[in-house]
Structure 1
Amino acid sequence: MMPIPDGKKSGSISGLELRKSWARSNCSNASKIPRRWPLTRIIDVEIYGQRYAIAGDGDDAYIRRLANFVDDQMKNLAEGMKTTTPSKLAVLTAINLAHRLFEAEKKRAQGEADVERRMATLMESIDEQMPTSLFR
């Protein structure tokens, strides 16, 4: 997502403008045609000195918390570097966050496999302890 500097045009219609345009053009058919997407609100956030307008239906506080987390990650990573561009820093931050996500997924899968093994062991133990006459 690249912010558009104030006073400059992007050359294309924004998502919000497109939704408003679509909603205006379909108002007469509103009862006949379901909306293609829900109308969202815009949440302004700042990440690494850049302002972004995030369109979404999520909780404002949650979106801001996510943005602050990304901002903190970028600032922490930048402290250990002599020079870098914001776009390179954003990519490195994304790689670091993806690594953390993959590690968390691996731990979750290992924990799930451990639970499955323990359940199988317990089931075998129960089967061994139960008298066979109960099942006849």
Structure 2
Amino acid sequence: MKEAVQVTILGQQYTVKSDSGAADVHRVAAFVNDQLSHVARGKKTVDTLNSVILALMNLAGTHLQLLDEHTEAEKRLFRLLEKLEEEAVDRS
């Protein structure tokens, strides 16, 4: 059952409905706020839309890099599994 959770992002209150639970929603909101703060650091003026877009670009880049790493690790695991199966057949 979805739980309504109050979070604050960039000073704005949001009610988020989630199956994940309040702790997970608050963790995500804190992460989003941290990412937005990171983007806004060093800027004299903060344009909210530009900050959000830059934060999303950073997150998307990290996400795609992790997907690539996961795909490569999965391929390596399948190759190792094939080698193990070949060894098992050879020893039979």
TM-score (norm 1): 0.59
Same amino acid, percent of matched pairs = 27
Superposed displacement of residue 41, structure 1: 4.5
Higher helix share: 2
Q: Which runs of 5+ in 2 are unaligned?
A: none
Within-5 A mapping of 1:61-76: 61-76=23-38
Q: When the two structures are aligned, how many residues end up with a matched partner?
A: 92
Q: Which residue of 2 aligns with 1:134?
A: none
2:64 is matched with: 102
**CA separation of 1:55/1:128 partners in 2, compared to 1, >3 Å: closer, same or farther?**
closer
User: Higher relative CO (CA 8 A, sep ≥ 6), structure 1 or 2?
Assistant: 2
Counterpart Cα distance in 1 of 2:67 and 2:27: 22
Unmatched runs of 5 consecutive residues or more in structure 1 = 1-37, 131-136
**After superposition, what is the alpha-carbon deviation per residue over 1:60-81, rounded to whole angstroms, capped at 9, x for unaligned?**
1211111011001110111143
Q: Which has the higher strand share?
A: 2
1:54 corresponds in structure 2 to 16
